[in-house]
Structures are given as C-alpha cells and as structure tokens.
Amino acid sequence: EKGLLVLPKLKGVKIKQHREIPEDYTLKSVTISQTPSGKYYASMLYQYDQEINIVEPKVFLGLDYSMRELFVSSEGIPAAYPRFYHQALIKLQKEQRKLSKCQRGSQNRNKQRIKVARLHEKVRNQRKDFLHKLSRQITNAADRVCIEDLNMKGMSRALHFGKSVSDNGFGLFVSMLDYKLKDQGKAIIKIDKWFPSSKLCSGCGEKKAELLLSERVYHCETCGMTLDRDHNASINIKKEGMRMTLA
C-alpha cells in the first residue's frame, strides 16, 4: 500500500518512499537496517522486466579522477566537489571531543553519541545527493563515459590520501554512473589503470619519460602544447575509450 510497508508480524509501518516502484514487479526481499543515529531504512530488492535499447555511441566523455575536484572532464570542466567532510570537520571534532569527556554508559554520552552520528549522517547524505545529481547530469550528456579503472580502496589506504579519497566518494559516483548509464542503454568504458594518460600529450601523442605529481600544468616539448594536467589526461582517457569502443 502506498505510504505503508507491510511486513510479517508487523502492521503497516509509515514510510517515506524515495523512488517509484515499477508495475508488475516481483518482490524478492526486504532488508531493515538502523543507522547509528537511530533512523530505520528498508531496502527492497525486486525484479521486473525492462526493455532497454542500446544507444549507438556518438558522444564520448573522458573523466580524470581528482582528489580535490572529484574529476576533470575532457571538456575541461571540473566537478567542483564541495568536500562536505572537510567543511564539517571542525564541528565534528568539537562534538567528538565532547563525546570523549562523557562518562561511559551515561544518558548524556548516549545523547552526544547520537549527535555525532547525525553529523556524520548529514555529511553522507550531502555527498550522496551531490553524486546522484552529478551522475544523472553526466548520463544525460554522454553515450559513453571513459574512466580509468582505479583501485579506490588501495588509494584510500595510501599515505595522506585516506580522508581525501573517502571524502569525495569517487567509487560511489562510478557505481551510480554505471547503473544510470546501463538503464539508458549507455555504458562506462574502463581504461587500464596503467594507461599513461597523464604522460601523453593529447595534442600530438608524444609521451613524457617523467612527470612529477607536483607538475599541475602539462607542457609538450615536441608540439609546444600547454594544458592543465588533469584536462590533458581526461582527453587522453576519452581518446583511448573511443579507440577501444570503435576498434
């Protein structure tokens, strides 16, 4: 029933429905979970028939991962990720210090724990909302989206990279982008992570022997092209994705 969730041994529970359920679906399972802040969520797994027409690849877009921006596109446009965790860090640290001073098992500690959990939950919700909207925007703009097949978990464990990688949620963004593209008959093209996208000149194809991470502008000594490092890499990623698709 709309607005109600009926489960065995439970009467109808009022719910806020986040998306429409298609007609003629077969319900497979319902998983109830509780967040640290005390909120309950019901995840429904259902099956239904959907006819998807594969879209002929005409518009390609390359995305180069960026810890600060999330990505820079082959059009030279950065995602401009707001860095929600970084914005909330001072307040989170303040509330976390208050929590550490509360006596274990006390009512005050439980109230403070919930307060900290809600702040973390707010950051997660802000991140998910931004990534949902951005992935929808990219899906509507391109037929094939080309990205490098990066090991995000490995990068998050790397020295100094953990919080930056976890904050921007690139792995989550790729998952969202993947299912949204498939839903429209489009696709992600994953480029080998060892492909030298940063070292190649997107103008003439010349490859640099060395390129330091601190070098943020790419300058080709062969053809003289000068371009933002990430923009140059995203163009190369797009070209490689086109080569793989159209070969």
**Do residues 188 and 213 both lie within one domain?**
yes
Report pLDDT for 160.
58
Check whether residue 70 and residue 152 sit in a common domain: yes
Same domain, 16 and 132: no
Q: Return the pLDDT at 135.
A: 98
User: For the whole model, what pTM was predicted?
Assistant: 0.86
Q: Do the strands 226-228 and 217-219 form a parallel or antiparallel pair, or are they unpaired?
A: antiparallel
- DSSP, residue by residue, 169-193: THHHHHHHHHHHHHHTT-EEEEEPT
Residue 24: its pLDDT value, please? 82
Would strands 60-66 and 70-73 be described as parallel, antiparallel, or unpaired? Answer: antiparallel
pLDDT for residue 237: 98
CA 35 from centroid of its chain's CA atoms = 21
Number of domains composing the chain: 2
Residue-wise pLDDT for 164-200, tens only, equals 556 778 999 999 999 999 999 999 999 999 999 999 9
Same domain, 40 and 71: no
Mean pLDDT of successive 10-residue stretches along the chain, which has 247 residues:
76 81 84 89 86 94 93 95 90 94 92 94 94 97 96 66 67 96 97 95 96 93 96 98 92
Q: What is the chain's mean pLDDT, rounded?
A: 90
Q: Are residues 109 and 20 in the same domain?
A: no
Residues 69 and 39 in one domain: no
Is 108 part of any domain? yes
pLDDT of the residue at 17: 81
Return the structure tokens found at 167: 């904050």
pLDDT value for 22: 79
Length of the chain: 247
